[in-house]
A and B are shown apart, each in its own frame.
Chain A
Amino acid sequence: MDQQHKINLSEDPWKTRLTLIDRARDPNDSQAWDEFTDYYSGFIRMVLIKLQVTRDDLEDFSQDVLLKLWQGLPKMEMGRDDARFRAWMGTVIRNAVYNHCSQATTRKRRETNAAVADVAPPDIEDIIESEWRKHIIALVIERLNASFSGKAMDVFTMTLDGKSVDDIASAMELTKASVYVLRNRVRTRFLDEAKQLRSQLEFRE
Chain B
Amino acid sequence: MMTESNIQTQALNQLFDQAFDERDPAEQSPLYVDLRSLEERYVQAELIAVGGMKRILKVLDRHSNRHVAMARLHEDASDLLFDPFIREARLTALLEHPNVISVHDVGVDKEEKPYFTMDLKVGDGLDVVLQKALADGGYPLSDRLDIFLKVCDAITFAHSRDVIHLDLKPANIQVGDYGEVLVCDWGLGKLIGSNDEIDDDELLNPDLLSGMTVYGQVKGTPGYMAPEQIRGEDRDKRTDIYALGGLLYAVLTCRPPLAGDTDTMQQAALSGDIVPPTERGSGVPESLSAVVMKAMALKPADRYASVSDLITDIRAFLGGFSPVAYESGLSTEFLLFYRRHRVSCNLAAAFVAMVVLVTALFVDRLSAKRVEAEMLAARLHVEKQETETLAARLRVEKEETETLAARLRVEKEDSEALLREVGLLTTVLPVDLVATGDQFSHDFFYQLPLVSYELSMRSVNDMIRTEPGRADQAREQLAYLYFMSTEFAKAKPHFEINPERMRGLARVNEALAESFDPDKHKTSATQLAGIIKTLISMNRKVQAGKFLAYDYASLGYREGYGLAVTAMFGDHAHCFNYEAETHTLTINGGGESFSLQTQQKQYPLRFLPIKRLILVDTVISDSSEITDLKILEVADLRGSQITSMGDLNMFPQLKTLIVRPDQLSQEEEIRLRPQVRIE
Query: Which residues of B1-43 have CB atoms within 8 Å of chain A's CB atoms?
Result: 1-2, 5, 7-8, 11-13, 15-16, 18-21, 23, 27-28
Chain B residue nearest to A195 (CB atoms) is: B19
Q: Does A39 contact B (CB under 8 A)?
A: no
Q: Does A149 contact B (CB under 8 A)?
A: no
Is the Cβ of B28 less than 8 Å from the Cβ of A195? no
Complex: A160 Cα to B16 Cα, angstroms: 13
* Closest-CB distance, A16 to chain B (whole angstroms): 20
Contacts A145-B1, A161-B8; is A191 near B15 (CB within 8 Å)? yes
Chain B residue nearest to A153 (CB atoms) is: B2
Is the Cβ of B8 less than 8 Å from the Cβ of A137? no
Chain A residue nearest to B10 (CB atoms) is: A160
B residues less than 8 Å from A198 (CB atoms): 19-20
Q: Which of A28-36, A104-112, A167-175, A182-190 lies on the face that meets chain B?
A: A182-190
B residues less than 8 Å from A188 (CB atoms): 23, 28
Is the Cβ of B16 less than 8 Å from the Cβ of A133? yes
Complex: A123 Cα to B379 Cα, angstroms: 138
Chain A residue nearest to B12 (CB atoms) is: A137
- Please tell me which one of the listed residues A133, A141, A191 contacts residue B18 in the complex, with CB atoms under 8 A apart: A191
Q: Does A194 contact B (CB under 8 A)?
A: yes
Complex: A51 Cα to B1 Cα, angstroms: 27
Chain B residue nearest to A194 (CB atoms) is: B19
Is the Cβ of B28 less than 8 Å from the Cβ of A141? no
Is the Cβ of A160 less than 8 Å from the Cβ of B28? no
* Closest-CB distance, B249 to chain A (whole angstroms): 55
Is the Cβ of B8 less than 8 Å from the Cβ of A191? no
A residues less than 8 Å from B2 (CB atoms): 141, 153, 157, 160
B residues less than 8 Å from A159 (CB atoms): 11
Complex: A184 Cα to B26 Cα, angstroms: 11
Complex: A188 Cα to B18 Cα, angstroms: 10
B residues less than 8 Å from A194 (CB atoms): 15-16, 19
Contacts A145-B1, A157-B2, A161-B5; is A187 near B15 (CB within 8 Å)? yes
Would you give the 0/1 interface string for A23-63, flagging 1 where the beta carbon is closer than 8 Å to chain B? 00000000000000000000000000000000000000000
Chain A residue nearest to B2 (CB atoms) is: A157
A residues less than 8 Å from B5 (CB atoms): 161
Is the Cβ of B11 less than 8 Å from the Cβ of A136? no
Is the Cβ of A184 less than 8 Å from the Cβ of B27? yes
Chain B residue nearest to A157 (CB atoms) is: B2
- Please tell me which one of the listed residues B7, B20, B23 contacts residue A162 in the complex, with CB atoms under 8 A apart: B7
Complex: A100 Cα to B347 Cα, angstroms: 105
* Closest-CB distance, B21 to chain A (whole angstroms): 8
* Closest-CB distance, A34 to chain B (whole angstroms): 26
A residues less than 8 Å from B18 (CB atoms): 191
A residues less than 8 Å from B23 (CB atoms): 188, 191
Would you give the 0/1 interface string for B618-631, flagging 1 where the beta carbon is closer than 8 Å to chain A? 00000000000000
Complex: A150 Cα to B604 Cα, angstroms: 139
Complex: A191 Cα to B18 Cα, angstroms: 7
Contacts A141-B1, A191-B19; is A160 near B27 (CB within 8 Å)? no
Complex: A195 Cα to B21 Cα, angstroms: 9
Complex: A28 Cα to B18 Cα, angstroms: 36
A residues less than 8 Å from B12 (CB atoms): 137, 160
Chain A residue nearest to B8 (CB atoms) is: A160
B residues less than 8 Å from A141 (CB atoms): 1-2
B residues less than 8 Å from A160 (CB atoms): 2, 7-8, 11-12
Is the Cβ of B8 less than 8 Å from the Cβ of A184? no
Count of chain A residues with Cβ under 8 Å from any Cβ of B? 19
Complex: A133 Cα to B28 Cα, angstroms: 25
Is the Cβ of B11 less than 8 Å from the Cβ of A162? yes
Complex: A191 Cα to B24 Cα, angstroms: 13
Contacts A184-B27, A188-B28; is A161 near B7 (CB within 8 Å)? yes
- Please tell me which one of the listed residues A157, A162, A184, A190 contacts residue B15 in the complex, with CB atoms under 8 A apart: A190
* Closest-CB distance, B2 to chain A (whole angstroms): 5
Query: Which residues of A131-169 have CB atoms within 8 Å of chain B's CB atoms?
Result: 133, 136-137, 141, 145, 153, 157, 159-162
B residues less than 8 Å from A195 (CB atoms): 19-20
Complex: A161 Cα to B2 Cα, angstroms: 11
Complex: A159 Cα to B14 Cα, angstroms: 13
Is the Cβ of A137 less than 8 Å from the Cβ of B7? no
B residues less than 8 Å from A187 (CB atoms): 15
- Please tell me which one of the listed residues A137, A157, A162, A184 contacts residue B16 in the complex, with CB atoms under 8 A apart: A137
Chain B residue nearest to A193 (CB atoms) is: B19
Complex: A83 Cα to B18 Cα, angstroms: 15
Complex: A188 Cα to B24 Cα, angstroms: 11
Complex: A136 Cα to B20 Cα, angstroms: 14
Is the Cβ of B28 less than 8 Å from the Cβ of A184? yes
Chain B residue nearest to A197 (CB atoms) is: B19
* Closest-CB distance, A200 to chain B (whole angstroms): 12
Complex: A141 Cα to B27 Cα, angstroms: 22
Chain B residue nearest to A196 (CB atoms) is: B19
B residues less than 8 Å from A136 (CB atoms): 16
Complex: A61 Cα to B164 Cα, angstroms: 89
A residues less than 8 Å from B16 (CB atoms): 133, 136-137, 194
Most chain-A Cβ atoms within 10 A of its Cβ — which of B2, B8, B28? B2
Complex: A157 Cα to B5 Cα, angstroms: 10
Complex: A191 Cα to B12 Cα, angstroms: 10
Complex: A95 Cα to B2 Cα, angstroms: 35
* Closest-CB distance, A41 to chain B (whole angstroms): 20
Complex: A169 Cα to B8 Cα, angstroms: 19
Complex: A187 Cα to B16 Cα, angstroms: 11
Complex: A194 Cα to B17 Cα, angstroms: 9
* Closest-CB distance, B12 to chain A (whole angstroms): 5
Complex: A160 Cα to B20 Cα, angstroms: 19
* Closest-CB distance, A58 to chain B (whole angstroms): 23
Complex: A161 Cα to B10 Cα, angstroms: 9
Complex: A25 Cα to B422 Cα, angstroms: 158
Complex: A153 Cα to B2 Cα, angstroms: 9
Complex: A157 Cα to B7 Cα, angstroms: 11
* Closest-CB distance, B332 to chain A (whole angstroms): 63
A residues less than 8 Å from B1 (CB atoms): 141, 145
* Closest-CB distance, A127 to chain B (whole angstroms): 15
Complex: A141 Cα to B3 Cα, angstroms: 12
Query: Which residues of B159-200 have CB atoms within 8 Å of chain A's CB atoms?
Result: none
Complex: A170 Cα to B427 Cα, angstroms: 143
* Closest-CB distance, A131 to chain B (whole angstroms): 12
* Closest-CB distance, A185 to chain B (whole angstroms): 10
Complex: A190 Cα to B12 Cα, angstroms: 9
B residues less than 8 Å from A184 (CB atoms): 27-28
Complex: A164 Cα to B277 Cα, angstroms: 73
Chain B residue nearest to A145 (CB atoms) is: B1
* Closest-CB distance, A136 to chain B (whole angstroms): 6
Most chain-A Cβ atoms within 10 A of its Cβ — which of B7, B15, B16, B27? B16
Contacts A160-B7, A160-B8, A184-B27; is A133 near B13 (CB within 8 Å)? yes
A residues less than 8 Å from B20 (CB atoms): 195, 198
Complex: A136 Cα to B12 Cα, angstroms: 10
Chain A residue nearest to B18 (CB atoms) is: A191
Complex: A136 Cα to B23 Cα, angstroms: 20
A residues less than 8 Å from B27 (CB atoms): 184
* Closest-CB distance, A151 to chain B (whole angstroms): 14
* Closest-CB distance, B417 to chain A (whole angstroms): 135
18 of the cross-chain contacts (CB-CB < 8 Å) are A137-B15, A141-B2, A157-B2, A157-B8, A160-B11, A161-B5, A161-B7, A162-B7, A187-B15, A188-B28, A190-B15, A191-B15, A191-B19, A191-B23, A194-B15, A194-B16, A195-B19, A198-B19
Q: Which 4 A-B residue pairings sit nearest by Cβ, starting from the closest?
A: A194-B19, A160-B11, A195-B19, A160-B8
Not counting A141-B1, A184-B28, a sample of 9 additional A-B residue pairs whose C-beta atoms are within 8 angstroms of each other reads: A133-B13, A145-B1, A161-B8, A188-B28, A191-B19, A191-B23, A194-B15, A194-B16, A195-B20
Mark B residues whose CB is within 8 Å of A: 1-2, 5, 7-8, 11-13, 15-16, 18-21, 23, 27-28
